[in-house]
Amino acid sequence: MKKILDLPNGRLQLPAFLPDGTQGVVKSMDAQDVAGSQVQAVQMNVYHLMQRPGSSTVQALGGLHAMSGWKRPIFTDSGGFQVYSLIRQNPKDGSIADKGATFRIEGKKFKFTPEKSIQLQMSYGADVVICLDDCTHVDDSLDVQTASVQRTVAWAKRCRVEFDRLVAERGLLGEAKPKLVAVVQGGGEKDLRRQCAEQLLEIGFDGYGYGGWPLDSENKLLIDVLGWVREFIPREFTIHALGVGHPNNVTACARLGYELFDSTMPTRDARHGRLYTFTVDPKAGWLAGKFFKYIYARDKKHIKTNLPISEFCDCHTCTHYTLGYIHHLYKVNDHLYPRLATIHNLRFMTMMMAALRAEV
């Protein structure tokens, strides 16, 4: 039986890819454009939104759904990864302790705790709330990975308590109740990943995520660690490969049993002129071998191409415009280019997910 995920703002067919709209918008796209690309849900980020437009503004504008015009489910990331990236790059700008994280951005001081992350995500009206976690890089030492797992589990426990308190306070029952997801850390240490998964399962969540940087120092997917973690999460729970977005990596993880993916990669690639196309018809079945290739919008050879970007794509861009025109828009730097390119790359991702749903 095909797996589905019912959320307050709609139903998802799994596996599903979620574009990242970290700032409350999938860049260059209006909510209708995103829906037109058959996207089922988007992922936004509490760390970015609390800075701009600011949490009280998100609330004043009616929450993320009302503010962005997006009617379908919204996942919100806890900000753990962003806090870690910021502090790792600029250790003098902040610190992470058991209590929570403090950091400084543009001179403004922010205090971030597991409870606060949950409070903000709930106040934004998220369908899926993600526990604050303590991220590491896969190359960090065993001591660092061990401390990260301990803190991630302790924070997940606090997130669970705060989430349950807010759900009760707001009387969110049945379908109106958002889902709470915890993130498995442990870097490349399989024992720590297992311990983390087991301790989180003991607390109990609606779903689980694979956290931390999913690639090794050579940018290769940590497929054996991802597979290892997948085995510890019972199939009745959803499992999310956080930050995985390259088509080859999504395909590999979906075949391991991962069901949710989010990344800025397909939309960022689109804006930068990298368009995704299938080399085989995705409706014909198995996405074998090198099933896709890049087309570069800047490439001179497309000047007079009187064909769509992809013969297999039914997106708004491919049904209305030629690759030659897309090349022209890119060259003259028109604002229409990123919109049309993003529509196309997102439709590529949703067609790819449909093909994976048919096979996994």
Binding site for Zn ion (CB under 5 A): 313, 315, 317-318, 344
Task: Give the residue with the Cβ less far from Zn ion, 55 or 322.
Answer: 322
Task: Give the residue with the Cβ less far from Zn ion, 238 or 345.
Answer: 345
Task: Give the residue with the Cβ less far from Zn ion, 40 or 117.
Answer: 40
Alpha carbons within 13 A on the beta-carbon side of 176: 7
CA distances from 226 to 125, 131, 158, 202 (A): 30, 19, 26, 20
Three-state SS at 98? coil
H/E run at residue 119: helix 114-123
Tokens read off for 347: 């439709």
Backbone angles phi, psi at 16, to 5 degrees: -135, 145
Is 164 a known active-site residue? no
CA distance 225 to 229: 6
Per the residue annotation, which of 77, 133, 140, 269 is the catalytic one? 77
Q: Are 97 and 227 in contact (CB under 8 A)?
A: no
Q: How far is the CB of 311 from Zn ion (least distance, A)?
A: 10
Tokens read off for 73: 């489910």
CA distance 121 to 130: 8
Per the residue annotation, which of 127, 140, 262, 269 is the catalytic one? 262
Which class for 22: exposed (0-12), middle (13-18), buried (19 or more C-beta within 10 A)?
Answer: buried
Tokens read off for 165: 């308190």
Q: How far is the CB of 341 from Zn ion (least distance, A)?
A: 9
Q: How far is the CB of 333 from Zn ion (least distance, A)?
A: 21
Is 98 a known active-site residue? no
Q: How far is the CB of 307 from Zn ion (least distance, A)?
A: 11
Q: How far is the CB of 291 from Zn ion (least distance, A)?
A: 16
Task: Give the residue with the Cβ less far from Zn ion, 65 or 344.
Answer: 344
Q: Which sequence positions are flagged as catalytic? A: 77, 262
